[in-house]
A and B are shown apart, each in its own frame.
Chain A
Amino acid sequence: MGFYDLIFWLFAFISVASAALMVFSKNVIYSAVGLLFAFFGVAGIYVLLAADFLAIVQIMIYVGGILVLLLFGVMLSHKIGGIQLETGTLNKIPAFIVAGGIFIIFFRVINKTVWPLRTTAKEFNPTVEKIGTLLMTDYLIPFEIVSVLLLIALIGAAYIARKERVQ
């Protein structure tokens, strides 16, 4: 088995096992740790797909930003009784049937479709410069809109999460 294939199976295993830990664990902090390793596994998959810049962006934003936010959210909304946060689950069987059904549909579609694969050789080129240029030329409007979106989210989140003053 080539080196590339080995690394793919390794990172796929890390992603799926951590996602399973996240989904099936009863402790919220364990779910967060599972999500951490799932993000890390997905970043590895991005590197295999020649998206080096995007892998680093994934780690920086998801692990360094969103996961820290989630952990703070869990710890700030924890009852100070010292009880472990248990999440009860209901509707497990119908959810399993639905999720399993959707996965089977995906699997059939993926294997039956004739994808228009590229014919030229695939090289691993650095993508940072190209993404930068594209963001400034072809995709300038989405770039500006997304920066406005971030500003709105920043102001909105800071306002919503403010403690209500007791009148």
Chain B
Amino acid sequence: MPVLNIYVTIFQTFPDKIPDTILTILLMLAGAVGITVLAALLALVGVYLERKISAHMQDRLGPMHVGWHGVVQTLADALKLLLKEDIVPAAADKKLHLLAPFIVFSATIAAFVVLPFSKTLVLSKLNVGIFYVVAISSFVVIGIILAGWASNNKWSLLGGMRSAAQIVSFEIPASLSILVVIMAVGSLNLGDIVEFQNGGILHWLIWKSFPFNLIAFIIFFTASLAELNRAPFDLPEAESEIIAGFHTEYSGMKWAIFFLAEYANMFLVAVIASTLFLGGWSSPFGNFLNYGIFSIFWLFVKSFSLIFIQMWLRWTLPRVRVDQLMYTSWKVLTPFAFLCMIGVGFYMIF
């Protein structure tokens, strides 16, 4: 990629003038800024897609005025939110009110660091890649609880605690279904997992150890929907019940940060699901178009299909009750995830 070549040439041009430490730090900062910009852009695209897809499913047109068919709509919204007044309730805890959106946003962006966009295009080749993603996502829970508490509002607190309970309950089936994949591959490194699936659609992990990996994929997808607080599990944000849950008292840029974090998280879950189960950046046709920029294309095709399915589910299914939610997590998804693990174990032994 030409961008990386620029960095390599910078490294080689100033070998003695800039000390090694400062160059490493600058490179890391540049990578961090790049990944933040990428995540924000993807979130903006996600918002536009949501509005258009939901509109067409509801037999209307969605944003049409700003730009051709409304493509600049999200940018206009972001500009408006930047200039909006930031209202903080008088009795709210100002420091925590400011801290909470940043914890949620930075945790979501930090998980983008290990995603492999192609064979060589990954910001950090962590050896414990997938485990790191699961761990960093648990920072989001703390951010949500702090947001609910800091608003000094009963509905926010209730929404925050409900959301935290929901995310923590659904982390277990999600982690177990990830474990199913790891058992087959034998490595936590996301690059290794995609290499394992290289070679066409029949090598994808979703078809191995049939039917257990397929069930694991469905469990992972459902559990991630709940972790994103998206319908049909969007009780913490239920507009008809607790106004807007934990982000009731947030306005302007802080609310925009929560919103962006949710859509970036949606994209993150889609990329993780396609990397683990659908082959990541590898082409479904074997070695045809399996290199360079086409890898990114394949990854985006798979992720955006999953995002389309997520949005489809949101605008089709009704919301579940909180006891049905807990029932789903503890009595349906977790036992099935254990069953998949045992099944894949048997496949590996025999």
Answer yes or no: do A and B interact. Answer: yes
Assess the A59–B128 pair: CB atoms within 8 A: no
- Contacts A52-B127, A128-B127 given; indicate if A36 touches B142 (C-beta within 8 A): yes
- How far apart are the CA atoms of A166 and B126 in the complex, in Å? 54
- Contacts A1-B21, A36-B142, A128-B128 given; indicate if A64 touches B168 (C-beta within 8 A): yes
List A15-65 residues whose CB lies under 8 Å from chain B.
Answer: 29-30, 33, 36, 52-53, 56-57, 59-60, 63-65
Fill in one digit per residue for B109-151: 1 if any A CB lies within 8 Å of its CB, else 0.
0000000000000000011100110111011011001100100
Residue of B nearest to A60 (CB): B135
Assess the A126–B127 pair: CB atoms within 8 A: yes
- How far apart are the CA atoms of A53 and B188 in the complex, in Å? 10
Assess the B138–A64 pair: CB atoms within 8 A: yes
- How far apart are the CA atoms of A165 and B292 in the complex, in Å? 65
Within 8 Å by CB of A75, from B99, B128, B141, B149, lies B149
Assess the B138–A63 pair: CB atoms within 8 A: yes
Name the prevailing secondary structure of the A interface residues. helix
Within 8 Å by CB of B135, from A59, A68, A72, A82, lies A59
A2 within 8 A of B: yes
In the complex, number of A-B residue pairs with CB atoms less than 8 Å apart = 73
Assess the B93–A60 pair: CB atoms within 8 A: no
Within 8 Å by CB of B96, from A6, A33, A68, A128, lies A33
Q: How far is the CB of A130 from chain B (nearest CB, A)?
A: 12
- How far apart are the CA atoms of A128 and B99 in the complex, in Å? 34
Assess the A68–B127 pair: CB atoms within 8 A: no
- Determine the chain A residues whose CB is within 8 A of the CB of B157 once the complex forms: 75
Assess the A63–B142 pair: CB atoms within 8 A: yes
Assess the A64–B149 pair: CB atoms within 8 A: no
- How far apart are the CA atoms of A72 and B171 in the complex, in Å? 17
List A108-127 residues whose CB lies under 8 Å from chain B.
Answer: 126
B239 within 8 A of A: no
Q: How far is the CB of A118 from chain B (nearest CB, A)?
A: 22
- Contacts A33-B146, A56-B132, A71-B145 given; indicate if A3 touches B21 (C-beta within 8 A): yes
Assess the B21–A29 pair: CB atoms within 8 A: no
Assess the A68–B21 pair: CB atoms within 8 A: no
18 A-B residue pairs with Cβ-Cβ distance under 8 Å, sorted by A, are A2-B21, A3-B25, A30-B96, A52-B128, A56-B131, A59-B139, A60-B134, A60-B135, A60-B138, A63-B135, A63-B138, A68-B141, A71-B146, A71-B164, A72-B145, A72-B161, A72-B164, A75-B149
The 5 closest A-B pairs by CB, nearest first: A64-B138, A60-B135, A126-B127, A59-B135, A3-B21
Q: Which residues of B contact A (CB under 8 A)?
A: 20-21, 24-25, 91, 93, 95-96, 99, 126-128, 131-132, 134-136, 138-139, 141-142, 145-146, 149, 152, 157, 161, 164, 168, 171, 188
